[in-house]
Structure 1
Amino acid sequence: MGKGVIYILFGVSGSGKTTIGKKLAKDFNIPFFDADDFHPESNIKKMSDGFPLNDSDREPWLQKLANEINDWNTKRGAVLACSALKQKYRETLKSIDKEYIKWILLDGSFDLIANRMEKRKNHFFKKEMLLSQFETLEKSEEGIIINIDKSSDEIVNEITSKLNTKKSQLGLVGLGVMGKSLAKNLLSKNFTLSVYNRQVDGYEVDIAKNFVKQQPDSHNVLGFDDLKSFVDSIERPRTIILMVNAGKPVDFVIDALIPFLSEDDCIVDGGNSHYKSTFERSNRLADKGFHFLGVGISGGEEGALKGPSIMPGGSKEAYDRSGDFLEAIAARDKANNPCCTYIGPEGSGHYVKMVHNGIEYAEMQLLAETYHILRFYGKKTPDQIAAIFNIWRNNGLDSYLLEITTDILLKKEGDDFLIDKILDKAGQKGTGGWSTNAALEVGMPLSTISESVMARNISGIKSKRVEASEIYQLKTSSISSDDTVFIENLEKAFRAASIINHHIGFELLKEASNEYKWKLNLSEIARIWTNGCIIRGDLMEQIWELFLSNNDTSLLLFSDIVTIMKPCVSSLSEIVSVGLKAGFSLPVLSAATNYFLAYTSAQTSANMIQAQRDYFGAHTYQRVDSSLDEYFHTNWKH
């Protein structure tokens, strides 16, 4: 065990040593001791009789305290309230290395302290002795001096601030689940950190201070519920990471921080913010001389703690200022490089995170549909489905989502599988819907992702679904023959649908990059998604390497992907056909099939759409037998 620091509050009686010492000890999570409690009875009697102690009286008392200090130093440390008025008294107390003793003089005027002492009850020290104490007090250049003409909380904050003359390397605001995990990650990389959490009576009380107490090496982290003290504790130019709820809370915190910031300070928004909000905040802060990064972070609570995938967007200068912190805490790819890279300008980091979440939505729905058809059409038990999924994981389909789905299927509550007790009503935070809106804005299809969002929406109307099922009384059928071929087809269908879903996501990124002139590096994006994030898996490793050779090729057009897809296409169509005929809803599998058939069709039904548009709205059309810059209109009435 390391040695503990001893904080000695000294000064005349009535300066608040006991009150402040107890508060300080509580904040530091170490014991508090009052030197008066170590006086022998003879000293206490002498002072009670109105006689001041002389140096002979004090010598054995000071020596006893010195021995106690030595003992406390070998443990957690301590806070000691002791008058220690003369320098020679303080010399006696120095029984340990000076780096482990912090001297704190509580200083105040005679009138202020005399007024305080008049209000004290049941204390052996009398006001008449105060003058002799002031005459005896020898101030020292050692340690810090705190003026006590303020509230006890303000005094403690000032002590904490002055004691930590070495500033923290960065700050973090918001100690929810993700914020705490990210803070622990930063501390594990040996960064010194200041943390802040708002103080709301009865709701959020001492969150930051309690977090500090829970850390094994609490001297590397400072906790604050006062925003100015928090900002002042960070070395300049500052990096401050925000881990607060997306939306207005982010703006509230930014607005509160601005008065305390200095030029070139950088704010890092690590929440799930909308990319347009990130763009607006970046411009607003740049006008004030501050930097801003909108940073997508994926990996959930475990990823934040052990190493997430990190997607920073904003000015390159901002990334150069604060990117080292982000790269240090990120997951590592197979070459041990950080799963964090500069994405691009403006809101590109949060845009990429939004698309990540869209792909994630569809992959989750795809797995849910696959489980559902195996369970209720294939009549497999959860543990049998888990066994099938484990086989698929060894066949090049391994992913984090497939891994956790297998774990879910094996979880029991007593003799029952827990999955059977979970209500079929899915929640969402909205980022999947953001992807759909973003795709519409640039005119891109987002079939699998949009359908996964709609699937969650329809799951939410549980009572309506129950009512409809009772009215229609539709029956589902189950497999009636050997299921070997069915399971083989389902594996191929799952593989194909997952590839199509990833293709759709990367196509949106490519189009957004062109539309907003972000110059996104798709290979780098895929690389930082190979570890730490929710959609990591074997497929992402392959996508990374494919885009490394050609950033502009569509995923479905790479020859390696064509080779995989060709044997799987008929299985995908077959599974969708079988599932729908059997009475099962397969929105993502169906969407993937429809997208692929349209994407690979030289001729679609869109010629009829154009004719209809021209008929009722005179929108014109192009012809296959004319140049592409010619447009035609027809009077369609016979």
Structure 2
Amino acid sequence: MILFVMGVCGSGKSTIGQSLAKELKYPFFDGDDFHPQANIDKMSKGQPLNDDDRQGWLQALNQKAKEVKEGVFACSALKESYRQILFEGIPWGQLVYLNGSFELIDTRMKARKDHFMPPGLLTSQFQTLEEPEYGLNISIDQEPEKIVEEIMENLSPGNQEFGLIGLGVMGKSLARNLAGKGFKLALYNRFVKNSEEQVAEKFIEEFDELNDCKGFEDLGAFVNSLSTPRKIFLMVNAGKVTDLVIEELKPLLDKGDIIIDGGNSHFADTQRRMEDLKANGLHFIGTGVSGGEEGALKGPSIMPGGDKEAYQKIAPYLEAIAARDAQGNGCCTYIGKGGSGHFVKMIHNGIEYAEMQLLAEVYALLRYVNGLSPEQISDELQSWETNGLSSYLLEITHKLLLKKEGEAYLVDLILDKAGNKGTGSWTTISMAELGIPATMISSALFARYISSFKQKRERYQKQFDLSTTKQSQVSTNDLRNAYQLARLVNHQQGFELINEASKQYQWELNLPELARIWTNGCIIRSELMEELIGRLKSGTDFLLTLEKEELAIKLEALKAITIAGIQTGVSLPTHLSAMDYLNTQLFDYPTANIIQAQRDFFGAHTYKRVDDPEGPSHHTVWE
């Protein structure tokens, strides 16, 4: 623990700090000793220090605190900006504010001798003072012994620096990841008689890296074990459960404490919770976490959004456990204000839906048109990884195709009814609300919906027993080119959706940085995502980065495989969606003019004219 004891000059920082250091058996550091001579000379002349004067002083204190890791520092960090410098990179720090009236401290200052700071500067100190909304607020209108006793009683007893609530699969993996980086955790899981008992305690006993962790079933004890400002990561079910946990936490927390929601919450819920907790002086960070169980343990991609100052207090934790990009930097960054963190995680999942469906369609063509076995398809997909198509989803797909149960391939034993957890539908709704045609995401979502009607599909197939046009084998070269082009369209649509949300919600999102943190740890990490970091610096029109000849070759390949799907009856919703999107973008065969004429005919909705597209709207009496 690093303990910063602050207050105006004359509040007793050094006296109290020295006593606390003795109690805690920590070294004591007087902030005055870190002032450069120029600052001392200035104050000796009765001149107050400005922010520039204090910058180097605060940084020196911060550096010393990082070096010693345990100690008590007395310094007059009067502004919040000063305290931000002190706490930079020291999440284990705690703050004690010695609070006293001007009259009391003025009397003390006048009685003090041989100090370089004259009593006349006290007025400027009170004018500068910004009282902290976190840490311990201790009145100095009592004896020093009582002050020290009060501080010792209120210091977090276990001094656990980071809390995590919810020890499901993801929660446990994140806890092990955090503990493995050296952080002292408090872990809480609910108590359910004969079902969930001593979950945290038993989990801690199971893994050596959790030795410094403490487990709880009592929420109050869990909260009291944490250093301030408290940092609590929620890994519970999104929706009502998250709201219930927050309501339980609110009366137990103090101003300045931070709640981090790591679930798949809807971004509008995140914004609502943020405003509600802000009224209580609490911070809320909506954080997308991608990578599944393995990613959570070994390094996920992390997308935190909310108050930037609050993020800086939790950044050392999140950035430490994140996956690393090609340059070794953490795949975690401050996304933006409001619910932006959960929004971009939602779009990540939408892009993921389409990426998964594209691979399922590739499998379908190779299996049902080309007649390849799962093992042969696996070999084909594995060869694509060396042709610029490397991705996590491609990798796991060619691996899962090899899995057998007895003599049967496991994929042939899995019922073709796909599940979904809501983020795909939320993305589709946001697409409609923002007016961005992310058509491949919605096509992938509807493919999952259709798959759930298994019995209905079987009835149709049995009743009609239709034969389809025989198709010669599709070219694997065409299939690879088509898949590559469709993926580019999918990513373009996803990033256009994020870009529009950034504009409409005034989030000021950094799209190249977002692509960077998606290059590792997350489900949609890929070689293409690495390339998009540079492309996004010029905008989201990825198609414009293609040469005409390259586009023409890939477009013909996409046409060929979609025709094959239509002729054979193999459903290819995302490839067809990409094809249709490209047709609307690349060829000028208008249809919206008919729609506008229809709307004007039955509803007098008016239309614009091609000879004056920016001019007035027109209405025609059609009969």
Q: Which amino acid aligns with 1:558?
A: T
1:200-239 aligned within 5 A: 200-239=192-231
Q: How does 1:428-447 map to 2 (within 5 A)?
A: 428-447=420-439
Deviation, structure 1 residue 312:
0.6
Report the Cα distance in structure 1 between the residues aligned to 2:469 and 2:402, rounded to whole angstroms: 25
| 2:456 aligned residue (464, 470, 483) | 464
In structure 2, the CA distance between the partners of 1:177 and 1:477, relative to structure 1 (3 Å rule), is farther
Counterpart residue number, 2:250: 258
Residue 604 in structure 1 maps to residue 590 in structure 2: yes
> 2:569 matched to which residue of 1?
583
3-state SS of paired residue (1:410): coil
Determine whether 1:341 maps to 2:333: yes
Match of 1:182 in 2: 174
Question: Please, what is the CA RMSD of the aligned residues?
Answer: 1.6
What letter matches 2:615 in structure 1?
A: D
SS in 2 for 1:220: coil
Partner Cα separation in structure 2 for residue 234 and residue 592 of structure 1 = 51
The answer for the alignment partner of 1:417 in structure 2 is 409
The answer on whether the counterparts of 1:376 and 1:478 sit within 8 Å (CA) in structure 2 is no
**In structure 1, how many angstroms separate the alpha carbons of the residues matched to 2:592 and 2:613?**
18
Letter matched to residue 511 of structure 2: L
* Pairs within 5 Å for 1:249-288: 249-288=241-280
Pair 377,221 (structure 1): closer, same or farther in 2 beyond 3 Å: same
- 2:409 and 2:546 mapped to 1: Cα distance? 42
3-state secondary structure, aligned to 1:203: coil
- Stretches of structure 1 that go unaligned for 5 or more consecutive residues are 1-160
Match status 1:537 vs 2:526: yes
Aligned equivalents of 1:281, 1:307: Cα separation in 2:
27
- Matching of residue 512 in structure 1 with residue 512 in structure 2: no
Aligned residue in 2 for 1:558: 545
CA distance in 2 between partners of 1:218 and 1:635 (Å): 77
Q: How far has the Cα of 1:629 moved from its partner?
A: 3.5
Map 1:130-169 → 2, pairs under 5 A: 165-169=157-161
CA contact (8 A) 2:180 2:209 kept: no
User: 1:386 and 2:378 equivalent?
Assistant: yes
- Tell me by how many angstroms 1:495 deviates: 0.5
Aligned match for 2:554, one of 560, 568, 571: 568
Q: Whole-Å Cα distance in 2 between the matches of residues 452 and 174 of structure 1?
A: 31
Instruction: Tell me the SS of whatever aligns to 1:535.
Output: coil
DSSP-derived class of the 1:629 partner: coil
8 Å CA contact 1:378, 1:478 repeated in 2: no
Deviation at 1:478, TM superposition (A): 5.2
- The alpha carbon displacement at 1:534 in A equals 0.3
Cα distance between partner residues in 2 of 1:200 and 1:465: 42
The answer to which of 290-299 and 467-476 deviates more is 467-476
Give me the whole-angstrom Cα distance separating, in 1, the residues matched to 2:330 and 2:215: 28
- Once the two structures are TM-superposed, the CA of residue 202 in structure 1 deviates from its matched residue by 2.4
Q: Tell me by how many angstroms 1:600 deviates.
A: 2.2
Please say if residues 314 and 346 of structure 1, whose CA atoms lie closer than 8 Å, have aligned partners that are also in contact. Answer: yes
Question: For 2:211, what is the secondary structure of its paired residue?
Answer: helix
- Structure 1 match to 2:148: none
Partner of 1:12: none
**Cα drift, residue 327 of structure 1:** 0.7
Offset of residue 601 of structure 1: 3.0
The amino acid across from 1:618 in the alignment is: A
1:522 aligns with 2:511: yes
Which whole-Å CA distance do the structure 2 matches of 1:545 and 1:302 have between them?
28
CA–CA separation in structure 1 for the residues paired with 2:367 and 2:209: 49
Q: Matches of 2:586 and 2:288 in 1, distance apart? A: 33
Taking the aligned partners of 1:476 and 1:212, their CA distance within structure 2 comes to 59
Whether the 8 Å contact between 1:172 and 1:194 is mirrored in structure 2 is yes
2:176, 2:210 within 8 Å by CA — same for their partners in 1?
no
Alpha-carbon distance in structure 2 between the residues aligned to 1:462 and 1:537: 32
Once residues 491 and 613 of structure 2 are traced to their aligned partners in structure 1, the CA distance between those partners, rounded to angstroms, is 34
Using the TM superposition, give the Cα deviation of residue 194 of structure 1 relative to its aligned residue in structure 2, in angstroms.
Answer: 0.4
Aligned to 1:491: 480
TM-score, length-scaled by structure 2: 0.74
Q: Alpha-carbon deviation of 1:228?
A: 0.5
Show the 5 A alignment for 1:240-255: 240-255=232-247
Deviation at 1:544, TM superposition (A): 1.1
Rounded to whole Å, the distance in 2 between the matches of 1:514 and 1:163 is 44
Q: Equivalents in 2 of 1:358, 1:593: separation in Å? A: 19
1:592 to 2:581 alignment: no
Whether contact under 8 Å (1:274, 1:350) holds in the other structure is: yes
What's the CA shift for 1:217? Answer: 4.1
CA–CA distance in structure 2, aligned partners of residues 269 and 468 of structure 1: 45
> 1:399 and 2:386 equivalent?
no
Q: Shift of the alpha carbon at 1:564?
A: 4.4
Structure 2 CA distance, aligned partners of 1:563 and 1:187? Answer: 52
Q: What is the CA-CA distance between 1:281 and the residue it aligns to?
A: 0.4
- Note the C-alpha offset of 1:195: 0.4
Determine the C-alpha separation between the residues in 2 that align with 1:271 and 1:348: 14
What is the aligned partner in structure 1 of residue 147 from structure 2? none
Shift of 1:165: 3.9
DSSP-derived class of the 2:508 partner? coil
- CA shift at 1:475, angstroms? 2.4
Q: Which of 273, 284, 301 does residue 292 from structure 1 map onto?
A: 284
**2:610 matches 1:618:** no
CA contact (8 A) 1:476 1:584 kept: no
- Cα pair distance change 1:356/1:304, threshold 3 Å: same
Matched, 1:503 2:495: no
3-state SS of paired residue (1:271): coil
Counterpart residue identity of residue 446, structure 1: A
Q: 1:199 aligns with which of 179, 188, 191?
A: 191
Paired residues of 1:171 and 1:194 also in contact (CA < 8 A): yes
Note the C-alpha offset of 1:366.
Answer: 0.6
- How many angstroms does 1:415 deviate by? 1.5
Q: Which residue in the other structure is 2:112 paired with?
A: none
DSSP 3-state at the match of 1:311: strand
- How far the C-alpha of 1:602 sits from its partner, in A, is 3.9
When normalised by structure 1's length, the TM-score is 0.72
Aligned equivalents of 1:225, 1:165: Cα separation in 2: 17
Q: Distance in 1 between matches of 2:157 and 2:573?
A: 59
* Separation in structure 2 between the aligned mates of residue 358 and residue 306 of structure 1, nearest angstrom: 24
**Is the aligned partner of 1:634 residue 2:620?**
yes
Question: 1:596 Cα shift?
Answer: 1.2
Going from structure 1 to structure 2, the CA distance change for 1:487 and 1:219 (only over 3 Å counts) comes to: closer
* Superposed displacement of residue 479, structure 1: 4.3
Q: Number of matched residues?
A: 471
Structure 2 unmatched ranges of 5 or more: 1-152
1:409 and 1:553, CA in 2 relative to 1: closer, same or farther beyond 3 A?
closer
CA–CA separation in structure 1 for the residues paired with 2:400 and 2:201: 36
Q: How far off its partner does 1:429 sit?
A: 0.3
Contact 1:377/1:477 (<8 A) preserved: no
1:365 corresponds in structure 2 to 357
Q: CA deviation at 1:166?
A: 4.4
Say if 1:379 and 1:478, in contact at 8 Å, map to a contact too: no
Contact 2:156/2:227 (<8 A) preserved? no
Distance 1:541 1:635 in 2: 55
Question: Amino acid of the residue matched to residue 543 of structure 2?
Answer: L
User: For the Cα contact (< 8 Å) 1:455–1:587, is it kept in 2?
Assistant: yes
